Structure 1
C-alpha cells in the first residue's frame, strides 16, 4: 500500500555566495493516514528543512533532490499550479511562533476566511459559519466575540489555536506541526497536544510532528525519527526507541533533562531582596478625559524574600504576573507595598540612587537573539554596562570581557563576532556574561531556557548553578518549565491571575502540592 506521504533519499543543499551547505543528507521516512510521526533533533539538525521540502517551501537558494510523494504524486519538480493546490489544502503547516505567522493588521475572521476563499471558493455567511465551527473545534471559547479580534489581542495559547484552525480549514490529509508548543505554558501545551491527537483521530489525518522535546514525542507519536547533522540516525516505533535506544545521540537526547539540586543556602546568608504586600494594578483609562474606569490587577498581594545564594522560582501561566512582579522589584514599573534591597527601602530612592540598583540587579531574557543588538559585537554587548556604570575604569575592558567569557564557557577568540554568528545556547551565554560582568547581587532570569534545545538547557542550568555557588548570587527564576524550576530553585512561588496561590520550599511543593492549581501544573508536565 502506498504511504500518504513518502520521502526517499532526500538531499537539500543551500548555495550562497559560492558556498554550499548540505543541510539534509539522504533522509527517508513515511507517514500513513491516521499516524503520528515525530522528527526529533536539536536546532540545525535539518528537521524543519526536511518538512518544508515536502511542498517546495525552501526558496530559490535550495537545491532539492530525491523523492517526495504525496498520495502517490511526485512533489519534487512539480509545477507551481500543482504545488499551490496541495499547499494549505492537502498538506497544512502549523508553525512555532504564531505571532510571526499571523498578519497583525488583519482580524482573525479575515485570516481564516482567506484560506477558505482561496482553496474552496467559500465566502459570506457560509464562510463565517465554517470559521465559527473551526474556532469551536480547536477550543476557542466564545468564538463569535473573537472574530473581530487581532492577533495581539489573543493569548499565546489562543493564537496557536487560531493557527491550528487555519491549518484545518480545508480538512488536510497531512498536518505538519513544527515546534507548535515550544513557547506555551505547560497547561496550554497539554491542551494543544490533546487537541491535535483528538483532531487527528477524528479526521483521519497523518500528523508529522517536529520537536526537540522528547517528553512530547513520548506522549503523542506512534513512530519517531531522530535527526542529527542532516541525517536520520535512528528511527522506529516510539516505545522501542525509548525503551532500547541504539544510537549514542539518541541516548544523549534521552538523558538531557535538568536534574540535581542547587547548593544549599548558608544559614547566615543575608537577605538580598524582600517585598511585603506588593501590589501592581494598571489603570484602564477611557474617554476623551482619560478617566480611570477600572484596573488590570497584574499582582495583588505578593510577599517574598530572597537571600544571597538562593533561587526563588516563580511559576504560573502567561498573564499570571510573574514577569510584572520581577520588573516591579527592579523598580522598572510602579507598584505599591514595601520593596527592600539589602535592608534599605528602595521605593523612595532617587534616580541617582537607582543607578546603583541597576548595576546590582541584572536581568536575562527569554529570547537571547531578540535581547542582543545585531549591530554590536559580542565584546561591545558585554562591555556596554561597564561603560554605563563606570566599573573598573582603570582596567582594560577587553580583559574584563575576556575573563567573563571564559567564566560562562565562551571562547574569548569569538568576542569580535556578531550575535547571528553564534548558536542559541552561545547567545544565551553572552546575555548571562553581559549581566555577570557587573558582578550583581540579584539576577532575574526570565524564561532563560525555554527557547533552547534540551541538551543546551542542561548546560545553562549547570552554568547558572555554578555561578550562584561561586558568587553567592540571588536568583529570581521565572519559568513555565517545572523540571528546570525544580533543578534550580530552593523556594517556589506559584502564581495565578495575579495571586500567589502557593509558596514554600521547592521539595515540599513538588512532592506535596497544597492547591488544585499547583497539582494541575504538575500533572501537565507528565
Structure 2
C-alpha cells in the first residue's frame, strides 16, 4: 500500500451545549491511501459523519476538536482559513446523502458546476462548459448538453446524485468523502452509483472514505473497514477478514442485522379488506392560457390487486414507478379511474363526507418519521390527534390510550411528553406507527417505513409490524425498494415499472422464480 494521503490520529470531538460537553468522537484513528476505499461503518450517532467532517474543519463553533488530521502531510486541525479554503472541495471533496438539500434549487445544473470550477480553477465561458460536459459524461448523465439548463427538481434522484459526484470530481480531488451517498436511492440506481464510484476511484487514483450503515455496500466497495460505535472504533481490518471472521460482538450484531423470516400464513377464511380492478391514475398535462390538456402523465396503468385481513401486499419498483400513487388511490386520497372496493363496498364514487367515517380505518406510515411528525407537538399529542379528529373511544382517557399503544410498539410511556427531536430515528418511526395503530385500522399503507433507518433498527421495525399484523389481522400495502425487507414482510408482491404492473404473484414465486427481465434486474441489484 502507498503512503496515506489522509491520516487521522487520536481524533476527539466534543460539542458544547448549555455549558456542558458531549463527546461525539473518542480517539479515532484511520488512514486513506490513493486508490483505496476505506469504509466507516456504524449506526446513527456512532460518530462516522463527525469524523469525516473533522478532516476539513466543517463542524462549527460549538465543536472542540483535538488530535491530528493530516492531508498530504499538512495538519488540518487548527489550520488557517486560506489553507482550509484551498483544500475544501479542491483536494478533499464531499458527496452527501441527500442531493436535493445539497444542490441549490434556484440555480441550473450548469450554473452550480460553473461556480465550483470558477472558484477553484478560474475556468469560465467555453472552457468551463467543455469541462462540465466532460464531467457529466464521465458520471454517466446521458444527453448531457440538454441537461445543463435543468434545475435540481427536474432531475431524478439518481441523476441528482450523479451531478453531486460530478461537482465533487470537478477539481480532481485526491480524497473523495462519500457520506451515505446511496441510502435514498433505488436498488438499481444504487448499484449504478456504486459501480461508478469504484470505476472513478481507479481511473482518477483517488482515495475514498465511504460512510454507511449498510454492510452490503461495504462488502462490495471497500478495501478496509473501521466499525464505529459510541464515537469509538471497535474493530478494523481488511473487508474480507472482517466479514469472514468478525471479532467484536457489535460487529457480529451488525453483520447479522438483516430482515429475515416470513410473515404468518393468512387464514383461509380471511375477509378481503381492499381490492382494485383496472385502477388507472393519469395526471393531465396542461399548456397555454386556457390550460388546454395536451397529454397525460400515466402514473398508474391498469392495476388490479386484492389484500385480505392479515395479509401484506408488497409493492416494489424504482422511484416514479407509481407505487405510492397506487396506494394513495386505494385510500381515495387522489382521483382515479377503475373500481376500488373496501370491506365489500365500492368506495370510488363516495363523497368526501361519506369517506370521512372510513378514514380512521385506513392509515399510512411514511418513510421519514422526522418529516411526518410535527416538531411542535409532544409524542402524546401526536399519537392522540387521530383519536380526537375521529372521535374514537371518546369516553376513555386519552393518556391511558396513548400509554397502551406506546407499550405495544415498544416505547416507554414515561417519554410521552417529549418532542420528536428528543427521540432516535427508530423511536420516531415507532411513534408514527403508534399514531396509525391507536385508531385500530383495517388497512395500513407503509410507504418505505424502514429505508431511513439503521440495519438493526430495520430488523426491530419489521418484527414489530409482523407482530401487530398477527395480533390485529391488519392488511398492509407495503411499499419499498428494499427487496430484503419486502421478502420478510410480504405474502404477495407486485412489481411496478413506469406505471405498469410488470409482475404479480406470491412472494415465494417472485423471489425464487422471477418471470420478467425487470424483476430479475431488481433482484440482481440487491446482491
Q: What interval of TM-score do these two structures reach, taking the shorter chain for normalisation? A: over 0.9
The runs of at least 4 consecutive aligned structure 1 residues that moved more than 4 Å come to none
Given the alignment of the two structures, is residue 337 of structure 1 paired with residue 338 of structure 2, yes or no? Answer: yes
Q: In the TM superposition, what whole-angstrom CA distance separates every residue of 1:276-327 from its partner, at most 9, and x where no partner exists?
A: 0000000000000000000000001100000000000000000000000000
The answer as to whether partners of 1:136 and 1:143 remain within 8 angstroms in 2 is yes
Which runs of structure 2 are paired with 1:186-265 in the superposition (5 Å)? Answer: 186-265=187-266
SS in 1 for 2:468: helix
Given the alignment of the two structures, is residue 184 of structure 1 paired with residue 185 of structure 2, yes or no? Answer: yes
Aligned residues: 526
Shift of 1:99: 0.5
Partner Cα separation in structure 1 for residue 3 and residue 85 of structure 2: 23
Partner of 1:98: 99
Which runs of structure 2 are paired with 1:37-56 in the superposition (5 Å)? Answer: 37-56=38-57
Which runs of structure 2 are paired with 1:368-379 in the superposition (5 Å)? Answer: 368-379=369-380
Partner Cα separation in structure 2 for residue 469 and residue 75 of structure 1: 55
Partner of 1:5: 6
Given the alignment of the two structures, is residue 123 of structure 1 paired with residue 129 of structure 2, yes or no? Answer: no
Partner Cα separation in structure 2 for residue 469 and residue 57 of structure 1: 48
Given the alignment of the two structures, is residue 490 of structure 1 paired with residue 491 of structure 2, yes or no? Answer: yes
Partner Cα separation in structure 2 for residue 81 and residue 72 of structure 1: 16
SS in 2 for 1:105: coil
Runs of 5+ unmatched residues, structure 2: none
Shift of 1:2: 3.7
SS in 2 for 1:406: helix
The answer as to whether partners of 1:2 and 1:72 remain within 8 angstroms in 2 is no
Shift of 1:352: 2.1
CA-based RMSD of the aligned residues comes to 0.5
Given the alignment of the two structures, is residue 453 of structure 1 paired with residue 454 of structure 2, yes or no? Answer: yes
Partner Cα separation in structure 1 for residue 20 and residue 333 of structure 2: 46
Partner Cα separation in structure 1 for residue 471 and residue 354 of structure 2: 27
Partner Cα separation in structure 2 for residue 163 and residue 21 of structure 1: 32
SS in 1 for 2:357: helix
Runs of 5+ unmatched residues, structure 1: none
SS in 2 for 1:4: strand
Shift of 1:505: 0.3
Shift of 1:347: 1.1
Shift of 1:218: 0.2
Shift of 1:16: 1.4
Shift of 1:351: 1.8
Which runs of structure 2 are paired with 1:82-161 in the superposition (5 Å)? Answer: 82-161=83-162
Q: In the TM superposition, what whole-angstrom CA distance separates every residue of 1:31-65 from its partner, at most 9, and x where no partner exists?
A: 01000000000000000000000000000000110
Partner of 1:322: 323
Compute the TM-score of the two structures, normalised by the length of structure 1. Answer: 1.00
Shift of 1:257: 0.1
Shift of 1:127: 0.2
Partner of 1:434: 435
Q: In the TM superposition, what whole-angstrom CA distance separates every residue of 1:484-511 from its partner, at most 9, and x where no partner exists?
A: 0000000000000000000000011000
Greater shift after overlay, 353-362 or 27-36?
353-362
Partner Cα separation in structure 2 for residue 323 and residue 288 of structure 1: 31
